[in-house]
Amino acid sequence: MAAIIQGIGAATALTSANSLDTKKSLFANSRRSLSERKGRLFVVRSDGRLSCGLIGRGGRAEQLITNAVAAKEDAAAASTSSKPGVVLLLVVVNGAELVQNATDSVGHIKEFVVQLDFQKKDGKTVLSEMGTRAVTNGPGAWVLLWDALESWSSRHELLLFEALREGLEEEMDRDPTVCVMGEDVGHYGGSYKVTKGLAPKYGDLRVLDTPIAENSFTGMGIGAAMTGLRPVIEGMNMGFLLLAFNQISNNCGMLHYTSGGQFKIPVVIRGPGGVGRQLGAEHSQRLESYFQSIPGIQMVACSTPYNAKGLMKAAIRSDNPVILFEHVLLYNLKERIPDEEYVLNLEEAEMVRPGEHVTILTYSRMRYHVMQAAKTLVNKGYDPEVIDIRSLKPFDLYTIGKSVKKTHRVLIVEECMRTGGIGASLTAAITENFHDYLDAPIVCLSSQDVPTPYAGTLENWTVVQPPQIVTAVEQLCQ
């Protein structure tokens, strides 16, 4: 999908006679009669290249579509992203007849013909679900395509850790009460470079390097929040924050209540966690289950550069204490995000893939294991609906319930421990609220209740893998 987005975005840079040069030319084309107007064909390939051409009525599309592959078989689907020049997406603008002409030429990629139906979601322009549909005839198709291309051209590409930094920096520019504290967050730029460059810009008082004393600087941050600041506290590793559990539980989560509402605690506690690559047991902890039972605390988990920035900004602006979970293996994910400012809802899940047969609830790194499994499931005839719950506390039961009422089957995939984990709480919430809509018991795939081994092969065995997800869905849908 990244290649698709890059390819569509690249269309704005085309300068040949076949490119979409100006809005004027689009409207000029749209005013022609249907018999005179030529259609456009966009072919997006796996290496990000985009071909653009004009096709007249009754024209053929072979010249633009080469090296195409079938998408139905597992082997082909698995190798598509690695083959340069392979057709990933065929976008046809200007009516069903043109779609038929193009797909007659290369029938084996007919399933890649999509309707250009772009929708705004959380401030982001997203494509509709893929299908064998065409854009409706008329000027609307041209305007829709132009708006989509214009939207993608107003984006910039960032890694996830850079998106976190951009969100933090924007909030520090906007609000002088926002400050950062933690180990090595200053001139070193943080253990994963989320705060790189902030100390020279804002000074040592707003970007404060602290001693290796998690309980001390976490307590200091909570006290600073009580006096009107908005501290962002970085734990170099989430496992280290267990040393500050007293401050997070007895102070951060309870002071608003125990003070009778006299104090607000607008603090963000963030840092890397999850199973990395051979980091050992103490550095591979998933602490969501530790913190979920603390009253008064919100928890969110980011999974893409887009939602990392939006959730960071929302957490800083919230008057509630928020714990932002970042996965150590997702920092180098790359995505194009909007140039304009946006803030996400801290209590809203994200619909990643609409479907009909089963609801798969996941978050953080497991989102990518689920989507990898979804490709296999689609090839086997299943239609899974994938939801990134994002808000770990409270759950977005509106979005989850709407999906459960549609699919009647639920699979939860998490990296957290099975005993007392997020999945256990989610299972209880769904059972209490939507039991009558379930046609099968809820299935929860979680990490094993063992310390994470250092050996890579053993480490993989403790975490849910895509084949396990495929098997679980097949059993659920029997």
Which sequence positions are flagged as catalytic? 214, 283
Distance between CA 256 and CA 268 in Å, rounded? Answer: 15
Half-sphere exposure of 328 (CA within 13 A, CB side): 20
Contacts of 448 (CB under 8 A, 6+ apart): 417, 418, 461, 462
Closest CA to 231 of 182, 303, 293: 182
Q: Distance of alpha carbon 174 from its chain centroid, rounded?
A: 25
Compute the Cα dihedral for 22, 24, 27, 31 and give only its sign: negative
Distance between CA 279 and CA 207 in Å, rounded? Answer: 28
Closest CA to 396 of 341, 321, 344, 338: 344
Are the CB atoms for 210 and 183 separated by under 8 Å? yes
Distance between CA 84 and CA 82 in Å, rounded? Answer: 6
Q: Distance of alpha carbon 392 from its chain centroid, rounded?
A: 15
Distance between CA 352 and CA 342 in Å, rounded? Answer: 19
Distance between CA 368 and CA 467 in Å, rounded? Answer: 13
Contacts of 238 (CB under 8 A, 6+ apart): 271, 272, 273, 285, 287, 325
Q: How many CB atoms neighbour CB 84 within 10 A?
A: 10
Distance between CA 210 and CA 208 in Å, rounded? Answer: 6
Closest CA to 9 of 95, 91, 111, 94: 91
Q: Is 440 helix (H, G, I), strand (E, B) or coil?
A: coil
Distance between CA 223 and CA 217 in Å, rounded? Answer: 10
Burial of 32 (0-12, 13-18, 19+ CB in 10 A): exposed
For tokens 């001390």, the residue is 216
